[in-house]
Amino acid sequence: MDLVIDTVSQGLRLTLIDHGYDFNYLSLDKSCAHSLLKILEDELVKGSKSCDDIKRVFFNRGPGSFTGIKMGYVTAMTFALDPEVEVYSFTSFDVMHTQVNATSQDHFLLNAFQGDYFLANRSELAWDYQVVSSKELPNMQQAYYMGVQKYCREEFTSLNDFDEDILKKLVQKNYYSKETSPLYLKKSTAEIARDKKMGLI
> How many other CB atoms are found less than 10 A from the CB of residue 26?
16
pLDDT score of 189: 55
For 112-156, the pLDDT digits (tens) are 988 899 999 988 778 999 999 999 999 998 999 998 899 999 999
CA angle 87, 164, 79 (to 5 degrees): 20
> How many other CB atoms are found less than 10 A from the CB of residue 13?
22
**φ, ψ dihedrals at 23, nearest 5°:** -135, 125
Minimum mean pLDDT among 30-34, 94-98, 180-184: which range?
30-34
Residue among 54, 93, 48 at smallest CA distance from 75: 54
Local confidence band at 197 (pLDDT 50, 70, 90 cut-offs): low
pLDDT score of 174: 94
Distant-in-sequence contacts of 127-132, Cβ < 8 A, 24+ apart: 127/91, 127/93, 127/94, 129/63, 129/93, 129/185, 130/185, 131/185, 131/186
**Beta pairing partners, 6:** 13
Local confidence band at 181 (pLDDT 50, 70, 90 cut-offs): very high
Query: Do 63 and 118 contact (CB within 8 A), yes or no?
Result: yes
Q: Is the pLDDT of residue 1 over 70?
A: yes
Q: Is the pLDDT of residue 199 over 70?
A: no
Residue among 68, 144, 82 at smallest CA distance from 110: 144
Q: Which domains, and CATH codes, for the chain?
A: 2-190 (3.30.420.40)
Q: Is the pLDDT of residue 33 over 80?
A: no
Local confidence band at 178 (pLDDT 50, 70, 90 cut-offs): very high
pLDDT score of 113: 84
